Structure 1
Amino acid sequence: MGQAQTGTGKTTAFGVPLLEQIDLNEGIQGLVLAPTRELAVQVAEELNRIGQVKGVRTLPVYGGQD
């Protein structure tokens, strides 16, 4: 578990190693848990940005909507 101010690279710190292990020929290969919907969306956006180079896509999944 890590705690630091916004903008210090926490998502990149765990995201890059995760994305490096992805095999595009396989199915779902990673799961990131976030405590809020807003953070889940932010993490997914950042991982999508980082993963573009490799062609990796992310999708935030969260509850609480009608």
Structure 2
Amino acid sequence: MLRSSDSRFSEMFDQYHSLTSEVERLEEVDVPVDDFTIEQMKKVRVNLKDKMYQILVAHKNSN
């Protein structure tokens, strides 16, 4: 499994899921957070997702 063999991927994976949980919590509970903060979190999450995708594609192509 890539997550166990690539520490960089594993770190991004954990960060992505942590951010997702936090964004969902903030949206569900309607915590008073400005839109900019949530949008920034979402941008970081998308960036992580893109980087993980690139790693997955590179890993697939190397096999």
Could you state the TM-score of these two structures normalised by the residue count of structure 2?
0.33
Largest Rg, 1 or 2: 2
Higher relative contact order (CA 8 A, sep 6+): 2
Which is richer in helix?
2
